[in-house]
C-alpha cells in the first residue's frame, strides 16, 4: 500500500512516461496480464490506456490488472492509468 507522499512522487515520475500498453476490445486477457507483469518487472512503473472499444472502463481495468499482478494503482485519469510494483531484487525507483 502506498502513502499519499509516495503516490505523489510516482505521479510526478509517471507524468513524463509514454503509454506502453493498451486494453482493447479483447478486454483483460491472460496475455495482457503477462505483458503487464513483465513490464512492471522491468520498469516498476507503467502507464496504460483503455481504448474506446474496450469492454471495461479505465478504473475497472486498473483495479483488475493491479489485483492480478499484485501492483498498486497510482492514478486513473480519463482513459489512462498508472500501475506501480516494486522490484524486490533490483529496484529502479526509490520512494
Asked, for residue 94, whether it belongs to a domain, the answer is no
> Could you give the angle at the alpha carbon of 66 between the alpha carbons of 65 and 71, nearest 5°?
135
Q: Which domain holds residue 37?
A: 4-84
Q: What is the pTM of this model?
A: 0.94
Q: How confident is the model over 35-85, as pLDDT tens digits?
A: 999 999 999 999 999 999 999 999 999 999 999 999 999 999 999 999 999
**Contact (CB, 8 A) for 49 and 36:** no
In order of 14, 25, 67, 68, 89, the CA distances from 75 in angstroms are 9, 22, 15, 17, 25
Number of domains in the chain: 1
Query: What CA–CA distance (Å, rounded) separates 95 from 62?
Result: 21
The alpha carbons of the chain give a radius of gyration, in whole angstroms, of 12
CATH number of domain containing 22? 3.30.110.60
Q: What are the pLDDT digits (tens) for 7-23? A: 999 999 999 999 999 99
Cell of 89: 531484487
Amino acid at each position: 500500500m502506498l502513502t499519499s507522499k509516495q503516490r505523489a512522487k510516482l505521479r510526478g515520475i509517471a507524468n513524463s512516461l509514454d503509454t506502453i500498453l493498451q486494453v482493447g476490445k479483447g478486454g483483460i486477457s491472460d496475455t495482457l496480464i503477462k505483458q503487464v507483469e513483465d513490464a512492471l518487472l522491468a520498469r516498476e512503473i507503467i502507464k496504460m490506456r483503455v481504448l474506446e472499444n474496450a469492454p471495461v472502463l479505465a478504473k475497472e481495468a486498473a483495479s483488475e490488472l493491479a489485483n492480478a499482478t499484485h501492483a498498486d494503482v497510482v492514478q486513473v485519469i480519463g482513459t489512462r492509468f498508472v500501475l506501480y510494483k516494486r522490484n524486490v531484487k533490483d529496484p529502479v525507483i526509490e520512494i
